[in-house]
Amino acid sequence: MAVDGNPATCAMTDPIGSSSQHDRAWWYVDLGDIYSVYNIRIQFKDMGEEYVLRQRGRFAGFSLYLSNSTTKEDGYMCYKDGPELPLLNFTTNCIGYGRFVIYYNERLSGVTYPEGYESTSYTHLCEVLVEGCSRGKYGINCDMNCPTNCFGRECDIVHGTCIKCKAGWEGEKCQTSCPNGSYGQECKSQCLGHCKDRTPCNHVTGGCVRGCVVGWTGTLCNKRKTSVYK
């Protein structure tokens, strides 16, 4: 139900809110692997024209999360509904990476919700469609490879810009090595200046390719040599 391609079969949880002992509800779908998500479409339960506003008020205020676990706190919120009421045939861009798409809603006591929100909410999902690409791909047809230096092969599904760069690289597509004198993740680490012949340290590891100047040792040339006299 909700992901079987048949909008006539719907998934429903217990109600939440003023007429229920529960104040939070959630539902999730496992995509089976980590995907680059672009768009999410939801078909909420439609009970006919007479009840459209009531149904929209019941679903109002929901959130969508992308996560690598079934816990929304492990991921991030890519959409928050409100204060307008959602359409029963709902669609939104929800760009990011995750294995689980999590639907969450709440009706907390003591909270004043916008006009039109029903005090009792239902999670009544008839179809959820998630569109995106496999990790490492982007573009309209998912036929373009993310740049080589994207961390975890993760890039923006539309533009191909890297979410994060591998150590030693920077730029929108992580195409530029760290400037001389810096290295590592986000190029935030500084070379110590103890490389032999004043050569720059490796922009990825910070190590000195040609070794250290006299008096220094270690992979990063960060340890003073101690002389032992007999």
Residue 209 is predicted with a pLDDT of 87
Give the per-residue pLDDT at 195: 93
Give the pLDDT of residue 193: 87
* Angle, CA 164 vertex, CA 160 and CA 131 arms, to 5°: 45
Q: Sign (positive/negative) of CA torsion 166, 170, 174, 177?
A: negative
- Within 10 angstroms of residue 177's Cβ, the number of other Cβ atoms is 17
Q: Which pLDDT score is estimated for 6?
A: 75
pLDDT given at position 68: 95
CATH homologous superfamily for the domain 11-133: Galactose-binding domain-like (2.60.120.260)
Query: In which residue ranges of the chain is CATH 2.60.120.260 found?
Result: 11-133
The single-letter code of the amino acid at 86 is: P
Query: Nearest 5°: phi and psi at 41?
Result: -120, 135
Residue positions counted in the chain? 230
CA angle 129, 55, 70 (to 5 degrees): 40
Which H, E and C letters describe the chain, residue by residue?
Answer: CECCCCCCCCEECCCEECCCCCCEEEEEEEEEEEEEEEEEEEEECCCCHHHHHHHHHHHCCCEEEEECCCCHHHCEEEEECCCCCCCCEEEEEEEEEEEEEEEEEECCCCCCCCCCCCCEECCEEEEEEEEEEECCEECCCCCEECCCCEHHHCECCCCCCECCECCCEECCCCCEECCCCEECHHHCEECCCCEHHHCCCCCCCCCCCCCECCCEECCCCCEECCCCCC
Cβ 197 vs Cβ 210: under 8 Å: yes
One pLDDT digit (tens) per residue for the chain, 230 residues: 456 667 778 888 889 998 899 999 999 999 999 999 999 999 999 999 999 999 999 999 999 999 999 999 999 999 999 899 999 999 999 999 999 999 999 999 999 999 999 999 989 999 999 999 999 999 999 999 999 999 999 999 999 999 999 999 999 999 999 998 899 999 999 998 899 998 999 999 999 988 999 999 998 999 998 765 54
Place of tokens 């720059």: 200
Q: Cis ω on the peptide bond leading into residue 83 (within 30° of 0)?
A: yes
Supply the pLDDT for residue 7: 74
Instruction: Check residue 225 and give its pLDDT.
Output: 82
